[in-house]
Amino acid sequence: MRANQLAVWHADTSISLGDRVHHPREDVAYARLVERDSGMQVVVNRLLQERRVIAIVGEAL
């Protein structure tokens, strides 16, 4: 596997793994955080927006 192919494979795997495993767990944690402190909703919204931006930029690569 060439270096550029490896980089593409790594990016694809990282994105799909994050979407399947990591992000759902984060979503649960964020929901619990907001349940305990509604003032954190702004922070959570910002984090979710950053996740969307990263996903869009990652697809462009």
33 by Cβ neighbours in 10 Å (0-12 / 13-18 / 19+) ranks as middle
Q: Please give the tally of structural domains in the chain.
A: 1
Contact indicator for 51, 23 with CB cutoff of 8 Å: yes
- pLDDT, tens digit, for every residue of 6-38? 555 555 655 666 677 788 899 999 999 999 999
- pLDDT, tens digit, for every residue of 44-57? 999 999 988 888 88
What domain range is 36 assigned to? 3-60
Alpha-carbon separation of residue 58 from 37, 40, 42, 47 (angstroms): 32, 27, 24, 16
Number of H helices, E strands in the chain: 3, 0
* Closest-CA residue to 46 (of 56, 54, 37, 35): 54
Has this prediction a pTM greater than 0.85? no
